Structure 1
Amino acid sequence: MSEYINPNYPDIPYLRDKAKKRIPRFAFEYLDGGCNAEINLKRNTDEIREVKLSPYYLRDYPEISLETELFGKTYSAPFGISPIGLQGMIWPGASEILAQAAFEENIPFILSTVATASIERIAEITEGNAWFQLYHPVEGSLRDDLLKRAADAGIKTLVILADVPSFGYRSKEIKNGLAIPPRMSLSNIAQIMSRPNWALSTLMHGQPEFKTLKPYIPEGMSLRHLGLFMNKTFNGRLNEERIKILRDKWQGNLVLKGVATEEDAEKAITHGFDGMIISNHGGRQLDCGESTIHPMSRIAAKYGDQTTIMMDSGIRTGPDIANTMASGAHFSFLGRSFMYGVGALGKKGGRHTIGILKKQLLQVMQQVCCSNTRDLPNHLLKP
């Protein structure tokens, strides 16, 4: 159990408020926002919190354990850190900070293809225990090189992104010039000047870059041409042929992220995925879709005994994790909560956030008299 929790920020909303004051508005809105009217962004969390658990106070139960096995490895808790692009723009060195915290606290960390740390650096920090999320490249040679780099670095779990056939329409990012790559307008520069800690940390750490992709980006490319390069280089739409090639080439665990229907879940099992993350990209892609908790519950009920069911999008707190696990998930992932922690507390933010989540989840399990996370579905109060 993590010992470090700053009493001034004992919950995720406190971290969010502090982070909002420490990082420029354009970076905070990139982290905090969703697509279109941000309906599904709110719905994700609201509907997780509609789940209710039953406490059994007169039961005799043994000591509580948060330990959870996933793909043959035992983690200290049933949650991990979701992949987030441009982490170093939100707070300098955020990818490295969170990877280090995840390694020390024995939870999984997923590195995005468009994060600001390289595969090799994160693998070094985590001794090969990180996961890697692949944005599918157009060219097979780039795909193969990224897979080789991940395997050579010791990474054993590859996450394939399914829910970005096109980038979500995010008006705040467009206004702030944060379509890939960021554009430094006078407004953004003024915001940076109003956040001296962020500015100084960025100056010391260096301008954020797509470190994993750096070997493939031509030198001296302007911001405009870098954006065109990224759009041309990656195509997020998956099909049976692409999946088959990935399954044949990748010898480790293969996870599909972005599943939202029973039909796609069945196809993922048929195509040989070892697990799936039920996700709507944190409400950043499709505003008029379902929240994650309801399709996850249906998929877990139908396929939970055939594959590993995980979920992200909308999970913020320890009670949210408990509700997600009670609804059928075998594991859960959080993104924004960890970035709020790093934005608020810098290098201490990762372990601080993990500590909060573990303590909150443990308290829920003590309260409902549940000895391990696998038993949480037995405490689900069904409507």
Structure 2
Amino acid sequence: MNNKKEIKINTKYPSIDDLRKKAEKQIPKFAFEYLDGGCNEDVNLHKNTSEIRDVELLPYYLSKHKGSSMKTELFGHTYDAPFGIAPVGLQGLIWPNSPEILAKAAFEHNIPFILSTVTTTSIERAAELTEGRAWFQLYHPTENRLRNDIIKRAEAAECPVLVILSDVPTFGFRPRDIRNGLAMPPKMNLTNILQAFGRPNWSLQTLKHGIPNFEVLKPYMPKGLDLKQLGKFMDQTFTGRLNEEKIKPIRDMWKGKLVLKGVANEIDAEKAIRLGLDGIIVSNHGGRQLDAGESAIKPLTRIAEKYGKDIKVMMDSGLRSGPDIARTLASGAEFTFLGRSFMYGVSALGKTGGDHTISLLKTELQQVMEQICCEKTKDFPNHIISRK
């Protein structure tokens, strides 16, 4: 298979776990724990990955095989692989300039990049780096005026897909972030400062690119906010809680593809279809919101079986490798997204981290497809055996 971007990986880091270990040594503890952790006791964080890995695939070794292609059509665009970069908040805090590194790498590899409302580059900059191919994820604002203005900016930037977020009606209870001063309102303490000094490369890159800001929200924020005032602004600006009445005017406004992210049950999937949405992303926010909930793969299987013919069904949360992508596609997802894996990549390798991580995942997924004799990504369900 010929890809637009040459596949080339750094052989020192041939797995996402290798990148994770390197990232932990590269960035301050408070930033790593913000990226790496879940909520409460991390039960659902670990279930997400372990229950994906309960899925087994069946190889057909004596079949005639003409070769495998990862190319996947989604919303009228043919991507070079069936995975994309999930939205992550405060990316520039984790690694300076990381959303721009990832947006550029995604464009070069012809996979989707989703920009979060609460990350550290703007809609306009992401669109520039991706020639209008970046998706945008909207945290629902309290004021309709603000909602409308952000949507108009995404439209002007030619974002092909608007993703509306449903699974953050409240901030997740994350003990590490509370200890580290990264709850709302955030507090930078002496421990954090000392941790930053212990990571000189991270500190130098931060000086080079500047203190990270909520660039999407910058036009709406009063100037000179201290951290306490920032927390108050965020609380007042976003309700977080979606319902059908809030989605209807967005569907009316947005002429592009509209996706609901954070679907965790069949009832919400059916509502999304009724509201005329184009796709759903089954997700539990990477295990960062509800520790007592299901892993993402369980509702994905049920939703895909029941509604897969009526709406595009995608998934994130817990995927960490090419085999994980394969298992998820075999379970009924048409497309997948990963968040932490890409942030481990840029945190470990800086400006080459996005390219390396995408190349690594493509290499792993291609190997699985060739091994099981799967010619197209839509054929993965033919290879599912069972869940252990």
TM-score if structure 1 supplies the norm length?
Answer: 0.99
Matched with 1:27 is 31
Amino acid at match of 2:314: M
RMSD of aligned C-alpha atoms? Answer: 0.8
Amino acid at match of 2:275: H
* 1:325 to partner: Cα distance: 0.1
Residue 17 in 1 paired to residue 31 in 2? no
Find the residue that maps to 1:52 and give its secondary structure: strand
**Moved beyond 4 Å, runs of 4+:** none
Residue 87 in 1 paired to residue 91 in 2? yes
2:199 to 195, 199, 216: 195
CA distance in 2, matches of 1:214, 1:271: 31
The CA deviation string for residues 152-177 of structure 1, in whole angstroms up to 9 with x for no partner, is: 01112000000001010001001100
Amino acid at match of 2:381: P
Matched with 2:241 is 237
Amino acid at match of 2:48: N
Mapping 1:257-276, distance limit 5 Å:
257-276=261-280
CA distance in 1, matches of 2:23, 2:160: 33
Residue 336 in 1 paired to residue 340 in 2? yes
* 1:240 to partner: Cα distance: 1.4
CA distance in 2, matches of 1:61, 1:330: 22
CA distance in 2, matches of 1:176, 1:319: 34
Mapping 1:51-130, distance limit 5 Å:
51-130=55-134
The CA deviation string for residues 137-189 of structure 1, in whole angstroms up to 9 with x for no partner, is: 00000000000000001112000000001010001001100024542201000
* 1:211 to partner: Cα distance: 0.4
The CA deviation string for residues 174-213 of structure 1, in whole angstroms up to 9 with x for no partner, is: 1100024542201000100000000000001000000010
Matched with 2:377 is 373
The CA deviation string for residues 318-359 of structure 1, in whole angstroms up to 9 with x for no partner, is: 000000000000000000000000000000000100000000
Structure 1: runs of 5 or more not aligned: none
CA distance in 1, matches of 2:244, 2:68: 43
Matched with 1:46 is 50
TM-score if structure 2 supplies the norm length?
Answer: 0.98
Find the residue that maps to 2:55 and give its secondary structure: coil
Find the residue that maps to 1:257 and give its secondary structure: strand
Residue 281 in 1 paired to residue 288 in 2? no
Task: Tell whether the 8 Å contact from 2:7 to 2:363 is kept in structure 1 after alignment.
Answer: no
2:354 to 350, 355, 367: 350
The CA deviation string for residues 120-145 of structure 1, in whole angstroms up to 9 with x for no partner, is: 00000001100000000000000000
Matched with 2:162 is 158
Amino acid at match of 2:209: H
Matched with 2:228 is 224
Amino acid at match of 1:219: K
Matched with 2:12 is 8
Find the residue that maps to 1:190 and give its secondary structure: helix
Mapping 1:320-335, distance limit 5 Å:
320-335=324-339
Matched with 1:146 is 150
The CA deviation string for residues 298-321 of structure 1, in whole angstroms up to 9 with x for no partner, is: 000000011100000000100000
Residue 246 in 1 paired to residue 244 in 2? no
Residue 311 in 1 paired to residue 315 in 2? yes
* 1:3 to partner: Cα distance: 2.7
Task: Tell whether the 8 Å contact from 2:346 to 2:352 is kept in structure 1 after alignment.
Answer: yes
Amino acid at match of 1:370: C
* 1:286 to partner: Cα distance: 0.2
CA distance in 2, matches of 1:347, 1:183: 28
CA distance in 1, matches of 2:145, 2:206: 33
Residue 361 in 1 paired to residue 365 in 2? yes
CA distance in 2, matches of 1:279, 1:21: 29
CA distance in 1, matches of 2:179, 2:146: 32
Task: Tell whether the 8 Å contact from 2:53 to 2:324 is kept in structure 1 after alignment.
Answer: yes
Task: Tell whether the 8 Å contact from 2:20 to 2:344 is kept in structure 1 after alignment.
Answer: yes
The CA deviation string for residues 69-113 of structure 1, in whole angstroms up to 9 with x for no partner, is: 000000000000000000000000000000000000000000000
What is the total number of aligned residue pairs between the two structures? 383
Find the residue that maps to 1:236 and give its secondary structure: coil
Matched with 2:190 is 186
* 1:4 to partner: Cα distance: 2.4
CA distance in 2, matches of 1:353, 1:381: 28
Matched with 2:173 is 169
